[in-house]
């Protein structure tokens, strides 16, 4: 997508030195656009853990590039030495964040691709090719999510010709959370580019404010009309007919259609259900967990540090970035990163293959090759 008129993706290899992975430092947005270099597995792991990069798709793609760096730096003396290093890197990357399933999926896909290669001196080329392929598929899947989700927005537009379609989204399931286009935002960008009058209600998404900081920024860069709202406003808007459609992303969706997404998503789904507002989840197939059936019991929910709730940073009138404390110094804090929205509250899933009910049969009909996996 565009930044200041220039096309960017969220991650790429440095053109002059393809042993370096480059990312956008998402901690600095919307105030500064800074590109960082990653040269070691430790740097990649830190970038994911510290949320320099974040969002399910991008976490997975970054881990895929991390495995490429692991292969670059692993000893090529013996197979044993090589695999010890590469498997340790995979374990290190997988341990960085627990909820988004894309992370383990991407690491495992790299490991499987490498296992098919015999000569050690061909490993680097295979790891690089696999990382590039995972990144390209991520972008293509999001583009297709946009095409399928557009049909939902077009159907709404037909019911209120000429009027603005109001879409509520939570957190950032935008292009910054993937390689390009985003999941929840892809249908919105597609509709906007078609000339449909869309307006987005952007939940601020405490405590890290991915909505207020990132979704608002990327929609603004693309010229999509939007309004940032405090996290508790959505229910009120829905009661007053000011939301036509909710579209959120997902960090992990079970084969039965239970959706883990950023904390607060469940409350929006409840409000949508109570007010008859369609509630869609947009996700690529890399965000399905084919082994899990009970989202509430099985999906690991990340708990992060207290400081994310206690402190907030922002830009002062002089342009400086400063950190302020919001809570009494001694108050204990809990910081649950995600919640699970049960399938019964989800109107449908927007995937790269089409829109489908949040229901095991429907999901497996769309992904028949996963039937064996899901029934294990
Ligand atoms: O903690 P984050 O920022 O990595 O959380 C992920 C998210 O941005 C959201 O949960 C998003 O809706 C799903 S990721 C496409």
Please identify, by atom number, the ligand 1 atom nearest to the C-alpha of residue 338: 10
pLDDT at residue 375 tops 70: no
Q: In terms of domains, do 169 and 225 share one?
A: yes
Domain termination residue (choose one: 117, 137, 157): 137
Q: How far apart are CA 310 and CA 287, in angstroms?
A: 30
What distance, in Å, lies between the first and last C-alpha atoms of the chain?
Answer: 39
Position 276 in a domain? yes
User: By C-alpha distance, which of 47, 358, 349 is closest to 183?
Assistant: 349
Which residues have CB under 6 Å of ligand 1?
Answer: 54-57, 171-173, 177, 183, 210, 248-251, 261-262, 337
pLDDT at residue 356 tops 80: yes
Looking at residue 4, its pLDDT comes to: 85
pLDDT at residue 183 tops 90: yes
Mean pLDDT along residues 1-30: 95
Name the residues annotated as catalytic.
Answer: 251
Q: Whose CA is nearest to atom 2 of ligand 1?
A: 55
Encoding tokens for residue 41?
A: 């597995």
Domain termination residue (choose one: 137, 163, 178): 137
Q: What is the CATH number for 56?
A: 1.20.120.420
Q: In terms of domains, do 159 and 295 share one?
A: yes
pLDDT at residue 374 tops 90: no
Task: Decide: 295 and 260 in contact? Cβ < 8 Å.
Answer: yes
Q: In terms of domains, do 40 and 133 share one?
A: yes
DSSP 260-318: EEETTHHHHHHHHHHHT--EEEE--GGGEETT-S-HHHHSPPPB--THHHHEEEEE-TT
Encoding tokens for residue 266?
A: 């469940």
Q: In terms of domains, do 329 and 186 share one?
A: yes
Looking at residue 376, its pLDDT comes to: 56
User: By C-alpha distance, which of 211, 273, 224, 219 is closest to 246?
Assistant: 273
Q: Tell me the pLDDT tens digit for each residue of 311-339.
A: 999 999 999 999 999 999 999 999 999 99
Q: How far apart are CA 331 and CA 353, in angstroms?
A: 47
Position 143 in a domain? no
For 268-298, letters b (16+ CB in 10 Å) and e give bbebbbebebbbbbbbbbbbbbbebeebeee
Q: What is the CATH number for 327?
A: 3.40.50.10470
User: By C-alpha distance, which of 116, 108, 74 is closest to 91?
Assistant: 108
Looking at residue 262, its pLDDT comes to: 98
For residue 261, the cross-strand partners are: 339
Q: In terms of domains, do 225 and 111 share one?
A: no
Position 144 in a domain? no
Q: In terms of domains, do 228 and 327 share one?
A: yes
pLDDT at residue 102 tops 80: yes
Q: In terms of domains, do 272 and 323 share one?
A: yes
Q: In terms of domains, do 80 and 188 share one?
A: no
Q: What percent of the chain has pLDDT over 70?
A: 99
Q: Tell me the pLDDT tens digit for each residue of 119-168.
A: 999 999 999 999 999 999 999 999 999 999 999 999 999 999 999 999 99
DSSP 162-224: TSPEEEEE-S--SGGGSSSS-SSHHHHHHHHHTT--EEEEEE--TTTTHIIIIIHHHHHHHT-
Task: Decide: 254 and 248 in contact? Cβ < 8 Å.
Answer: no
Q: Tell me the pLDDT tens digit for each residue of 228-261.
A: 999 999 999 999 999 999 999 999 999 999 999 9
Task: Decide: 133 and 286 in contact? Cβ < 8 Å.
Answer: no
Average pLDDT, the chain: 97
Task: Decide: 282 and 149 in contact? Cβ < 8 Å.
Answer: yes
> Ligand 1: which of 52, 63, 106, 171 to mutate, most ligand atoms within 8 Å of CB?
171
Residue 211 Cα to ligand 1 midpoint, Å, equals: 10
> Ligand 1: which of 55, 173, 176, 336 to mutate, most ligand atoms within 8 Å of CB?
55
What's the total number of domains in the chain? 2
Q: In terms of domains, do 119 and 215 share one?
A: no
Residue span of the structural domain in which 317 resides: 149-374
Q: In terms of domains, do 223 and 270 share one?
A: yes
Residue 121 Cα to ligand 1 midpoint, Å, equals: 37
Residue 82 Cα to ligand 1 midpoint, Å, equals: 33
Q: In terms of domains, do 325 and 230 share one?
A: yes
Domain termination residue (choose one: 105, 137, 169): 137
Residue 303 Cα to ligand 1 midpoint, Å, equals: 14
Position 281 in a domain? yes
Measure Cα distances from 159 to 154, 155, 243 in Å.
Answer: 9, 7, 14
Q: How far apart are CA 165 and CA 117, in angstroms?
A: 51
DSSP 214-235: IIHHHHHHHT--EEEE-TT-HH
Task: Decide: 276 and 300 in contact? Cβ < 8 Å.
Answer: no
State CA 39 to chain mean position distance. Answer: 23
Encoding tokens for residue 8?
A: 């960017």
Position 247 in a domain? yes
Q: Tell me the pLDDT tens digit for each residue of 269-314.
A: 999 999 999 999 999 999 999 999 999 999 999 999 999 999 999 9
Position 59 in a domain? yes
Q: In terms of domains, do 106 and 162 share one?
A: no
Position 155 in a domain? yes
Looking at residue 121, its pLDDT comes to: 93
Position 23 in a domain? yes
């Amino acid at each position: 997508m565009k930044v200041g008129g220039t096309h960017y993706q969220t991650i790429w290899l440095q053109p002059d030195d393809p042993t370096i992975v480059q990312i956008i430092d998402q901690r600095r947005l919307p105030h500064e656009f800074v590109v960082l270099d990653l040269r070691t597995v430790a740097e990649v792991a830190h970038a994911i853990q510290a949320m320099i990069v974040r969002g399910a798709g991008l976490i997975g793609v970054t881990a895929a590039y991390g495995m490429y760096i692991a292969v670059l730096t692993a000893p090529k003396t013996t197979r044993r030495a090589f695999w010890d290093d590469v498997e340790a890197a995979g374990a290190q990357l997988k341990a960085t964040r627990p909820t988004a399933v894309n992370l383990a999926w991407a690491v495992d896909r790299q490991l499987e691709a490498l296992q098919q290669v015999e000569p050690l001196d061909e490993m680097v080329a295979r790891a690089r090719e696999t990382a590039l392929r995972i990144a390209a598929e991520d972008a293509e899947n999001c583009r297709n999510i946009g095409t399928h989700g557009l049909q939902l927005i077009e159907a709404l537009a037909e019911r209120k010709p000429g009027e603005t379609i109001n879409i509520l989204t939570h957190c950032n399931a935008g292009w910054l959370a993937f390689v390009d286009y985003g999941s929840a935002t892809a249908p919105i960008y597609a509709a906007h580019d078609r000339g449909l009058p869309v307006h987005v209600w952007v939940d601020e998404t405490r405590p890290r404010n991915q909505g207020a900081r990132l979704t608002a920024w990327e929609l603004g860069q693309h010229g999509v009309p939007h309004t940032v709202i405090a996290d508790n406003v959505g229910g009120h808007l829905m009661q007053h007919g000011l939301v036509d459609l909710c579209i959120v992303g997902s960090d992990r969706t079970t084969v039965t259609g239970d959706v883990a997404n950023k904390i607060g998503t469940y409350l929006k789904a409840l409000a949508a259900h109570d007010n008859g507002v369609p509630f869609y989840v947009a996700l690529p197939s890399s965000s399905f967990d084919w082994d899990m059936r009970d989202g509430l019991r099985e999906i690991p929910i990340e708990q992060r540090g207290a400081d994310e709730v206690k402190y907030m940073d922002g830009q002062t009138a002089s342009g400086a970035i400063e950190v302020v404390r919001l809570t009494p110094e001694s108050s204990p804090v809990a910081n649950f990163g995600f919640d699970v929205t049960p399938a019964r509250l989800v109107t449908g899933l927007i995937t790269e293959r089409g829109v489908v009910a949040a229901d095991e049969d429907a999901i497996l009909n769309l992904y028949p090759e996963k039937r064996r996996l899901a029934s294990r």
